[in-house]
Chains A and B, each alone.
Chain A
């Protein structure tokens, strides 16, 4: 597997469930302890008329009993629903809340700020389209702000709202806001976000939640709810049909169907398919959907397929269109978030759930761990709880996996401890061994080649600390301009010939900048978006 691929941090598309409906937005709140996440969700529920009268009465009683806000209503108590949470005034586990405005419906995941419960934050982030990262205006960026921002980025959330909260406690002063904007903006290139909005708020007093705040006339941008109502969601542009087989439906001798939810792409009756990993071919004779027979199966739909031949198909197999080249994998590189007290350790065996398959694997090596303060890569012996790192996993059998960027369903995994049955880590697939070039876009192919060329030229070290260099570079010259230059060169590169030509001019800064940033920018370009939008006032800066 190429080091260039290992380094690349690929953007991902939103999970299938989030895509089917344009007017539905899934978001989470995250950030450090006590920054006001639950208060903000409670405030949003209240402001959108989603709190019923009997629940308001209960809130009044609860605020008097457990409240942290003196005589005022403690909106966090609308959301912190467990008795342990109410007693301690903290969030322990993610709460899912549902509300809507005339423009959109929302599924909000309020996640805990405590480091101890990072796994619950990641659970909430895995299905989100948008993240609201809260920052306490008095405290600025804290280690948890950085950790949560990294996890959000790792799990493929490309759109972020930075809510700089508790502005009431800093006299609603613009300098405080501006300083935090500067600090956060410096993190953004490393995180690969497509869109970042920064908004000053007071969740407790309701400033800038639904409209402009008279306390902050200096802020001309949109209020939080306006951004939530209008922010874009990721569109899927995936032509590859993939259906992980979930269950074999054999009610009687006359019917044998294969049930599952389409992970990507679409397929119609009469088309030829291949069943991976064994590679058997057949033709689709029928598609049974929730409303009966249908002609075509599309991403996100739960269907049952019937075939022309008696092929051997079982749970964990993946049905693809015939001609789609993909092999079962034995080795993958996965970025992991450790979730239990027992550290993730090289040499240990795990059960890995990817899609509908559950396979035994050994953790061969830990390539690096991420320092959440600096995002630098460091060598590591193991990954203790809440640590993040890149690992190589070797399966005992062939497994169908893709990179998370290609397909969230077949690119996300759970690492399960076979003895305790606990999920020891969640992870995303960053690279698969033996991936056929046909599976990649021409730009990815060109990049992979450039990466390989850089490696052989000794210009690229897998362990080079891109972060520090990048920060330095960004300070000295416009990052967007630099990225634009590189993208222009690389996206237009037909093949290896250009590499030699471009090497002197471009490759040195490219290496210094780190391929990660380039990957992200190229992908954004490929999808026809601006590289990164950072907005304070509805427009870019």
Chain B
């Protein structure tokens, strides 16, 4: 169990980062992807700017393939907290018929997520975008700064990152350049769950085990969230008690068999687990350094 003191120190660090952006950037946005990290990030932002409302909108880049429960949770959250939400869909991608099943995970992610995100940032002219990424998620993320400078065409140059000593963030940038800012950089998966428990933060029910309709495919358990997931010959849908460790597009997100139905169960299961959180993500396995490549091209 992460101690309360440690969680409160992480909380204070994140609040400092959130405020630093609002104080120095012109038009920030919070990229809200509905998962547990976004839930924590949103919770911290509410604290950072209390008693006022959030001084920036939320934006969800919707690939149109999110779990239905994610979308309804998103809409409830926005209503409950009185937030300003932008939902952006890459309509060109939709028109071209891009989808995770026929186009494959790489093309789908690039068009609907990366390109969609860049379109939306350009359309609204945001100069700083908060993301919920953590350094413990993946080896190239472990290398990224808290304030990650992106060129006018949103590219990340991992070999020319700005030094970031102490908490002295260099927030100067040229016109057209922007920042991706990661207030949860120093949090681990354990910290996130411990904090959710400590602060009673609502999360999407998909994180908790329940009987759900799944098919076995390429070694992963894929939930058939709607009729769009075609069944291959010989495949059948089973009701299995499963949950998700990360959430994304449903055809690309593997479930884990589990009976963990409460926060305490989840935390206990995570501590005992020998597999990393991103293992269930099909998109991470497209190549040896696929995350870094995607980030260079403008992904989160």
Contact = CB atoms under 8 A, between A and B. Distances in A.
B172 interface: yes
Given A412-B166, A416-B172, A421-B173, A54 B185 contact: no
Interface in B129-176: 135-136, 138-143, 158-159, 161-168, 170, 172-174
A78 B51 CA distance: 43
A249 interface: yes
B51 A251 contact: yes
| 8 closest cross-chain pairs (CB), A and B | A251-B52, A81-B139, A126-B165, A20-B9, A302-B15, A52-B276, A421-B172, A119-B163
Contact of A252 (B9, B52, B170): B52
Interface stretch (B18-26, B67-75, B81-89, B227-235): B18-26
A255 B52 contact: yes
Q: What is the interface of chain A mostly: helix, strand, loop, or mixed?
A: mixed
A300 to B, nearest CB: 6
A82 B292 contact: yes
B6 A123 contact: no
B48 interface: yes
A93 B158 contact: yes
Interface of A: 15, 17, 20-24, 52-55, 61-62, 65, 78-84, 86, 92-98, 105, 107, 119-120, 122-123, 126-127, 155, 246-247, 249-252, 255, 259-261, 288, 290, 300-302, 304, 315, 339, 351, 353, 356, 408-409, 412-414, 416, 421-423, 426
A96 B12 contact: no
A163 to B, nearest CB: 21
A290 B172 contact: no
18 contacts: A17-B13, A20-B5, A20-B8, A52-B275, A62-B288, A79-B139, A81-B140, A81-B141, A81-B143, A81-B292, A98-B136, A126-B165, A127-B165, A290-B8, A302-B48, A353-B168, A414-B168, A421-B172
Nearest to B277: A52
A302 B172 contact: no
A96 B185 contact: yes
A252 B49 CA distance: 12
A94 B167 CA distance: 15
Contacts of B275: 52-54
Given A83-B292, A353-B170, A123 B19 contact: no
Contacts of A416: 170, 172
Interface residues of B, number: 56
Most buried by A among B47, B164, B174, B279: B164
A246 B276 contact: no
A29 to B, nearest CB: 14
A290 B22 CA distance: 17
A126 B166 contact: yes
B11 to A, nearest CB: 6
B217 interface: no
Most buried by B among A15, A78, A247, A300: A247
A96 B135 contact: yes
Most buried by B among A24, A246, A260, A302: A302
Contacts of A97: 135-136, 142
B262 interface: no
A23 B15 contact: no
Given A82-B159, A290-B47, A421-B174, A247 B274 contact: no
Nearest to A105: B6
Interface of B: 2-3, 5-6, 8-9, 11-13, 15-16, 19-20, 22-23, 47-53, 135-136, 138-143, 158-159, 161-168, 170, 172-174, 185-186, 188, 273-276, 279, 288-289, 292-293
Contacts of B6: 20-21, 23-24, 105
Contact of A94 (B139, B143, B174): B143
A15 B166 contact: yes
B23 A339 contact: no
A82 B138 CA distance: 11
Given A21-B9, A302-B11, 6 more contacts: A21-B6, A93-B143, A98-B135, A259-B19, A339-B163, A353-B168
Nearest to A292: B50
Contacts of A252: 52
A260 B12 CA distance: 10
B50 A93 contact: no
Contacts of A304: 50
A65 B273 CA distance: 27
A21 B163 contact: no
A249 B47 CA distance: 12
B5 A21 contact: yes
Given A81-B139, A81-B292, A82-B140, A54 B276 contact: yes
Contacts of B135: 96-98
B163 A426 contact: yes
A246 B20 contact: yes
Contacts of A98: 135-136, 186, 188
Contacts of A288: 50-51
